[in-house]
C-alpha cells in the first residue's frame, strides 16, 4: 500500500513539475485563466494545452491560409470545459471562417440547410406524433441536460431527414452547434483523406447535436462499424451528447445489417452498437407517402 501511494505521489509531482514549467508560456497561462480552471485540473492536460498554445502562437502573425503552420490548415486546437473535463477540438480560424462564408454564399441552395420547422407539412396525420416530439424537444433542450435524441425509421422518401434537419437548424438559434452527416458518404470521406481523419472524428464526437443520416445504407465493414461508428457513439454516450439517426431499417433490422455475417463475434459487435443507439435515443417510426416521387 505504501509503495502504491509513493508511486502516485511521484506521478503527481512529475505532472505538477511539467505543468509549472509549461505555465511559463503566457498563451498557455492565459488559456487556463480564461477557462477558469484550477491547477489540479489543468495539469492533467499539460501536453494538450501546450499543443494548443503552440498553434495559437502560429496564428498570431499569420496573414492568410497559405501561411498556416497548424496541423490542420485553417483550424486551431483549442479546449473547452465540459462537466469538469477539458475537451479539445479543432476550431476554424478567422480566415477559414471567411472562406466558408464565401463558399456558402456561392454554392447551390440545399433544402436541408434551409429547412425550418414551420416548413414541415402538418396535414399528414401520420407525422403528428413526430412533430409533437420535435416541438417538445426544442422547447426543453438545454446543453447541460444531455437529452436523448431520436432513432427515426420509416419508408424511403417520407421526409425523416428533412424533419430532423429542420429541428437542428432551429437549435442553432439557441447557439447550439449541430451537424448532419450522411453516413455512407462520411465513411468514404474519412477513408479518402487521412490527413483530416483525426480532426473530423474529434468533431463528430464533440459537436453538440449530431444527426447520423441513413444509417443502414452503408456497406458494412468491421472498420466502419467498430472503429468509426462504435467510437463516435461510445464517446457521445459517455459525454451525454445528443445524437439523432434516420434509417429505412427498424432497430432490429439494423442489428442484422450490422452483423456482417452469421458469425457470433459479428453478432456481438452489432448488438454492442445497437445498445449504444438505444442509450442515446428514443425509437420512433414514421410511415408516410414517398415525397421524392
- pLDDT per position as a tens digit, 184-194: 988 888 887 77
Q: Provide the pLDDT for residue 11.
A: 65
Residue 123 has pLDDT above 90, yes or no: no
- Please check whether residues 138 and 168 belong to one and the same domain: yes
pLDDT at 273: 95
How many structural domains is the chain composed of? Answer: 2
| Within a domain: 45 | yes
What residues contact 244, with CB distance under 8 A and at least 6 apart?
149, 150, 151, 152, 164, 168, 209, 210, 211, 212, 281
Query: Mean pLDDT throughout 210-215?
Result: 95
Instruction: Pick the closest to residue 180 from 157, 153, 148, 203 (CA basis).
Output: 203
User: Domain limits at 94?
Assistant: 2-102
CA count, 13 A, side-chain hemisphere, 270: 21
Question: Are 147 and 269 part of one and the same domain?
Answer: yes
Same domain, 119 and 95: no
Characterize 29-52 residue by residue with b for buried, 16 or more Cβ atoms within 10 angstroms of its Cβ, and e for exposed.
Answer: eebbeebebeeeebbebbeebbbb
Determine, yes or no, domain membership for 237: yes
Confirm whether 292 is domain-assigned. Answer: no
Q: Is residue 246 part of a domain?
A: yes
| Of 260 and 216, the one with more pLDDT | 216
Share of the chain above pLDDT 90, in %: 50
Q: What is the pLDDT of residue 113?
A: 78
pLDDT of residue 265: 64
Mean of pLDDT values over 119-143 = 88
Are 210 and 98 within one domain? no
157-178 pLDDT per residue, tens: 778 899 999 999 999 989 999 9
Q: Are residues 43 and 117 both part of a single domain? A: no
Q: What is the pLDDT of residue 262?
A: 53
pTM for the full predicted model:
0.63
Indicate whether 65 and 123 sit together in one domain.
no
Specify whether 98 is located in the same domain as 161: no
Select from 50, 75, 102 the last residue of a domain: 102
Whether residue 293 lies inside any domain: the answer is no
In a domain, 274, yes or no: yes
In this structure, are 119 and 59 located in the same domain? Answer: no
Residues 52 and 88 in one domain: yes
Amino acid at each position: 500500500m505504501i509503495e502504491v501511494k509513493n508511486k502516485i505521489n511521484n506521478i503527481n509531482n512529475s505532472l505538477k513539475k511539467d505543468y509549472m514549467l509549461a505555465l511559463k508560456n503566457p498563451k498557455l497561462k492565459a488559456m487556463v485563466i480564461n477557462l477558469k480552471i484550477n491547477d489540479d485540473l489543468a495539469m492533467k492536460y499539460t501536453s494538450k494545452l501546450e499543443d494548443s498554445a503552440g498553434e495559437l502562437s502560429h496564428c498570431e502573425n499569420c496573414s492568410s491560409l497559405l501561411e498556416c503552420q497548424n496541423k490542420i490548415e485553417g483550424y486551431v486546437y483549442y479546449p473547452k470545459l465540459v462537466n469538469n473535463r477539458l475537451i479539445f477540438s479543432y476550431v476554424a480560424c478567422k480566415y477559414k471562417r471567411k472562406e466558408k462564408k464565401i463558399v456558402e454564399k456561392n454554392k447551390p441552395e440545399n433544402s436541408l440547410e434551409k429547412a425550418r420547422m414551420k416548413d414541415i407539412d402538418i396535414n399528414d396525420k401520420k407525422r403528428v406524433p413526430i412533430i409533437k416530439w420535435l416541438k417538445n424537444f426544442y422547447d426543453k433542450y438545454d446543453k447541460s441536460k444531455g437529452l436523448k435524441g431520436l432513432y427515426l425509421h420509416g419508408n424511403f422518401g417520407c421526409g425523416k431527414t428533412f424533419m430532423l434537419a429542420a429541428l437542428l437548424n432551429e437549435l442553432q438559434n439557441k447557439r447550439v452547434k449541430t451537424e448532419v452527416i450522411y453516413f455512407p458518404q462520411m465513411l468514404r470521406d474519412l477513408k479518402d483523406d487521412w490527413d483530416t481523419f483525426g480532426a473530423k472524428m474529434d468533431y463528430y464526437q464533440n459537436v453538440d447535436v449530431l444527426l447520423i443520416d441513413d444509417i443502414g445504407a452503408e456497406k458494412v465493414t468491421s472498420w466502419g462499424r467498430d472503429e468509426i461508428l462504435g467510437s463516435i457513439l461510445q464517446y457521445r454516450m459517455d459525454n451525454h451528447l445528443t445524437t439523432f439517426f434516420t434509417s429505412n431499417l427498424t432497430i432490429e433490422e439494423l442489428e442484422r445489417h450490422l452483423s456482417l455475417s452469421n458469425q457470433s463475434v459479428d453478432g456481438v459487435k452489432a448488438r454492442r452498437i445497437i445498445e449504444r443507439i438505444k442509450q442515446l435515443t428514443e425509437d420512433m417510426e414514421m410511415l408516410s407517402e414517398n415525397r421524392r416521387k
